[in-house]
Amino acid sequence: MVSTSKEMCPRCARGKLVTDNESGEMFCSKCGFVVTEKIQESGPEWRSFSQDEHGDRARTGAPTSITMHDMGLATIINPVNKDASGRPLTSTMKSTIERLRTWDSRSQVHEPVDRNFRQAFGELNRLKDKLAISDSVIEKAAYLYRKALDKGLVRGRSISALMASALYAACRDTETPRNLKDIEQAANIKRKDIARCYRLLVKELDLRMPVIDSIQCIARIASRIGVAEKTKRHAVRVLKQAQAKEASAGKDPMGLAAAALYLACVKHGEDKTQRDIADAANVTEVTIRNRYKGLKESLEI
């Protein structure tokens, strides 16, 4: 299959340039001079391993995701006002395409469920950027929110609060070190509202949340305040000893990790105050003092 362009041959200036789409060569139609041996393919990518039910090659697109209100399956009209040949549209056709583009956008969210998902997942993407959370946690949060909507838990409640609570539940389920205070600051919603929706999700969806390991919180706090590696390792050893003696039972994991890190800083002479560690861990100085005293007594340090 060949195609002829309007460009003239740079050698004889009489023949037009012809492109062979099979071999990728561009040559003159008169003298046969080869201008380019290989050209870049500008069409859609074909994958040999992507085949339909009849074994024919099929185009591959973006993967579907439950974090989109339409699962990523909807199509859009290209915003570029050009036809299939690349020529600009006429003014009449341009206004027609603009009108079709508007109605196409509106038709995708004509159901209340679609509008709900669009608002909720827009909030989820904003929280993802603020809290630096991985895609797997976001997918889990979107899954929990969809289940909550199917059960009618969103009716009469704030979409933002329920989405924030679903994200917190996803963090707990995947053992991602994010506490309620982090979610509260990122979502700008009262902590009690998020906690109320979280308890509702756990009860109605019959969720089984694992206990957060306080050792996983060490790395997050240490990276924020910038302590030495040996100090961080000492804090991990302290927490392992506390878990072995069951001194960490019933304690807030983030507060316990902050206290262990403060104890390690005192041990290795790191110039870090309780205030510095409390700000990095999003806990109070009183919590660190109480947990610090408890660790010293239980471990006899």
Examine the fold and report which residue of 182, 204, 226 is the final residue of a domain before the chain moves on.
204
Q: How confident is the model at residue 54 (pLDDT cuts 50, 70, 90)?
A: low
Inside any domain, residue 63: no
Residues 223 and 281 in one domain: yes
Which of 117, 115, 93, 97 lies closest to 106 in space, CA to CA?
Answer: 115
| Model confidence pLDDT, tens digit, residues 189-199 | 999 999 999 99
Residues 180 and 222 in one domain: no
| Whether the predicted pLDDT of 60 surpasses 80 | no
Inside any domain, residue 209: no
Residue 281 sits in a domain of what CATH number?
1.10.472.10
Q: How far is CA 195 from CA 68, 163, 175, 200, in A?
A: 25, 12, 18, 9
pLDDT of 204 reads: 92
Domain that holds residue 132: 112-204
Inside any domain, residue 222: yes
pLDDT of 47 reads: 47
pLDDT of 108 reads: 66
Q: Which amino acid is at 193?
A: D
Q: How confident is the model at residue 109 (pLDDT cuts 50, 70, 90)?
A: low
Average pLDDT over residues 22-39: 76
Average pLDDT over residues 94-113: 78
- Give the full edge-to-edge strand order of the sheet including 16-20: 2-8, 16-20, 25-28, 34-36
Q: Which of 75-79, 182-186, 230-234 has the lowest mean pLDDT?
A: 75-79
SS3 for 149? helix
pLDDT of 46 reads: 47
Q: How confident is the model at residue 13 (pLDDT cuts 50, 70, 90)?
A: confident
Q: How confident is the model at residue 118 (pLDDT cuts 50, 70, 90)?
A: confident
CB within 8 Å of 122: residues ≥ 6 apart:
none
- Report the alpha-carbon angle 139-140-146, nearest 5: 90
Inside any domain, residue 256: yes
pLDDT of 169 reads: 94
Mean pLDDT estimate for the chain: 82
| Whether the predicted pLDDT of 72 surpasses 90 | no
| Whether the predicted pLDDT of 260 surpasses 80 | yes
Residues 263 and 182 in one domain: no
Average pLDDT over residues 258-270: 90
- What CA–CA distance (Å, rounded) separates 266 from 50? 59
| Whether the predicted pLDDT of 48 surpasses 50 | no
Inside any domain, residue 88: no
SS3 for 156? coil
Q: How far is CA 166 from CA 46, 72, 102, in A?
A: 39, 21, 32
Inside any domain, residue 43: no
Q: How confident is the model at residue 39 (pLDDT cuts 50, 70, 90)?
A: low
| Model confidence pLDDT, tens digit, residues 132-182 | 888 899 999 999 999 999 999 988 899 999 999 999 999 989 888 888 888
CB atoms within 10 A of CB 292: 22
Q: Are strands 57-59 and 2-8 parallel, antiparallel or unpaired?
A: unpaired
| Model confidence pLDDT, tens digit, residues 199-256 | 999 999 998 888 778 888 888 888 888 888 899 999 999 889 888 888 778 888 888 9
Inside any domain, residue 48: no
Average pLDDT over residues 49-61: 51
Examine the fold and report which residue of 171, 204, 237 is the final residue of a domain before the chain moves on.
204
Residues 143 and 175 in one domain: yes
- Report the alpha-carbon angle 236-237-240, nearest 5: 90
Examine the fold and report which residue of 151, 182, 204 is the final residue of a domain before the chain moves on.
204
Residues 130 and 196 in one domain: yes
- What CA–CA distance (Å, rounded) separates 89 from 221? 57
CB within 8 Å of 110: residues ≥ 6 apart:
none
Q: How confident is the model at residue 91 (pLDDT cuts 50, 70, 90)?
A: confident
SS3 for 4? strand
State the total domains in the chain: 3
Q: By the 8 A CB rule, do 163 and 131 touch?
A: no
Question: Is the entire prediction scored with pTM above 0.85?
Answer: no
pLDDT of 138 reads: 93
Residues 121 and 200 in one domain: yes
Per this entry, what is the length of the chain?
301
Residues 191 and 223 in one domain: no
Q: By the 8 A CB rule, do 88 and 164 touch?
A: no
| Whether the predicted pLDDT of 57 surpasses 60 | no
